[in-house]
């Protein structure tokens, strides 16, 4: 049996802070005359996780670089609409990042326009001191690969991560990594401060190319710092490796997949939401996590990711969708 952890649940008492990119996905769509055009949609891996958490009813904030341009205003409004606090966002007149999306068989590829952007040009000096109500931090996405902003997030973690629960999802995109050695070194620094690391099976193979066994590679990641390593396997579900316990595996609900945009980001939100609701993201709460609690967290992650992929684009469910029994599929 898992130990019971008491946490404060009143509105505004405690917060998960999502740290990373918010950008505009330019999604292809046919016009009335049949010519393909691009429609701006709010996105970014960390942005997607933040809005998914907000929609699940978790007190959530975001720290990112937001532009004063029309796209930055659109991103800020979308965060507010999903109940995400933007008080810690860093605002500038630099442009917003644009990501032009190509969809093939439901899978997305991206062309990014990110030079001199509000998000990428963040520096360690831009990062605010975090209030005590922030008790859990989430980092991930391309914000960990694109300098100088990547160093700003690493510095924030090193300065503010102690005594806070930390989850890290590198969401590795090799095309963004101009200096693999520097990127690996920064990830190693961040892993030392992380309690939870989520990787796809492809991420894991990139991080640790040697060897063949997933469990051995997960153990190598745990040796760098995190107590919990979660590996997602797309439609095959996910497995959690918790120090001192047997692996925990959950299946992905089976439904028709519309596309996989935001699936992994929404999965992360489900895991964090469940751990939060169980009290395992309060101070020292992860020390009481057992396999039953981990299974609950992975199952919620799989469920909310499933709903997301049954819809077009990154469109995480609200808590009411779960209560209504909505389903969907995949943990990409």
| pLDDT, tens only, 293-315 | 999 999 999 999 999 888 877 88
| Per-residue pLDDT, 106 | 59
Is the distance from CB of 12 to CB of 88 less than 8 angstroms?
no
| Per-residue pLDDT, 107 | 67
| pLDDT, tens only, 164-191 | 999 999 999 888 888 999 999 999 999 9
Give the C-alpha separation, 40 to 235, whole Å: 28
Q: Which of 16-30, 101-115, 273-287 has the highest mean pLDDT?
A: 16-30
* 136 against 30, higher pLDDT: 136
| pLDDT, tens only, 102-156 | 877 756 677 889 999 999 999 999 999 999 999 999 999 999 999 999 999 999 9
DSSP-derived secondary structure for 105-130: TTEEEEEEE-TT-TTTT--GGGPPPP
The confidence band for 13, taking pLDDT boundaries of 50, 70 and 90, is: low
| Per-residue pLDDT, 9 | 37
Give the C-alpha separation, 188 to 194, whole Å: 10
| pLDDT, tens only, 196-225 | 999 999 999 999 998 779 999 999 999 999
Is the distance from CB of 126 to CB of 153 less than 8 angstroms?
no
The confidence band for 10, taking pLDDT boundaries of 50, 70 and 90, is: very low
| Per-residue pLDDT, 254 | 86
| Per-residue pLDDT, 330 | 42
The confidence band for 101, taking pLDDT boundaries of 50, 70 and 90, is: confident
Give the C-alpha separation, 118 to 48, whole Å: 18
Per-residue pLDDT, averaged over 18-33, amounts to 91
Give the C-alpha separation, 41 to 313, whole Å: 9
Q: Which of 13-22, 90-99, 257-266 has the highest mean pLDDT?
A: 90-99
Q: Is 16 helix (H, G, I), strand (E, B) or coil?
A: strand
Alpha-carbon distances, residue 1 vs 67, 130, 296 (angstroms): 48, 34, 13
Give the C-alpha separation, 53 to 102, whole Å: 26
DSSP-derived secondary structure for 52-72: HHHHTT--EEEE-EEESSHHH
| Per-residue pLDDT, 283 | 67
| Per-residue pLDDT, 178 | 87
Give the C-alpha separation, 96 to 86, whole Å: 16
Cα dihedral sign for 284, 126, 22, 98? negative
Domains of the chain: 46-63+123-323 (3.40.1190.20)
Per-residue pLDDT, averaged over 227-252, amounts to 94
The overall average pLDDT reported for the chain is 89
| Per-residue pLDDT, 329 | 40
Strands 15-19 and 196-200 turn out to be: unpaired
Please check the confidence at residue 287 and state whether its pLDDT lies above 70: yes
Alpha-carbon distances, residue 239 vs 74, 173, 198 (angstroms): 36, 22, 10
């Amino acid at each position: 049996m898992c130990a019971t952890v008491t946490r404060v649940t009143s509105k505004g008492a405690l917060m998960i802070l999502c740290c990373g990119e918010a950008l505009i996905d330019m999604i292809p769509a046919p016009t009335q005359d049949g010519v393909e055009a691009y429609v701006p949609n709010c996105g970014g891996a960390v942005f997607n996780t933040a809005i998914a958490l907000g929609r699940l009813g978790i007190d959530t904030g975001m720290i990112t670089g937001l532009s004063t341009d029309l796209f930055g205003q659109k991103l800020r409004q979308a965060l507010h609409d999903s109940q995400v606090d933007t008080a810690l966002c860093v605002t500038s007149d630099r442009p917003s990042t644009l990501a032009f999306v190509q969809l093939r068989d439901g899978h997305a590829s991206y062309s990014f326009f990110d030079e001199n952007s509000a998000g990428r040009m963040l520096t360690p000096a831009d990062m605010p001191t975090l209030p005590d109500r922030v008790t859990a931090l989430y980092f991930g996405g391309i914000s960990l690969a694109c300098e100088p902003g990547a160093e700003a997030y690493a510095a924030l973690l090193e300065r503010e991560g102690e005594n806070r629960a930390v989850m890290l999802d590198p969401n590795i995109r090799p095309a963004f990594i101009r200096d693999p050695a520097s990127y690996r070194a920064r990830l190693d620094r961040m892993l030392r401060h992380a309690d939870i690391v989520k990787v796809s099976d492809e991420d894991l193979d990139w991080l640790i190319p040697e060897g063949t066994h997933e469990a051995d590679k997960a153990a190598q990641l745990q040796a760098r710092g995190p107590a919990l390593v979660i590996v997602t396997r797309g439609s095959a579900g996910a497995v959690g490796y918790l120090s001192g316990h047997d692996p925990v595996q959950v299946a992905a609900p089976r439904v028709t997949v519309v596309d996989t945009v935001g699936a992994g980001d929404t999965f992360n939100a489900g895991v964090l939401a469940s751990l939060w609701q169980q009290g395992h993201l309060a101070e020292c709460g992860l020390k009481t996590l057992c396999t039953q609690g981990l299974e609950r967290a992975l199952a919620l992650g799989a469920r909310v990711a499933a709903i997301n992929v049954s819809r077009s684009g990154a469109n995480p469910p609200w808590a009411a969708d779960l209560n209504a029994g909505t389903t969907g599929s995949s943990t990409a």
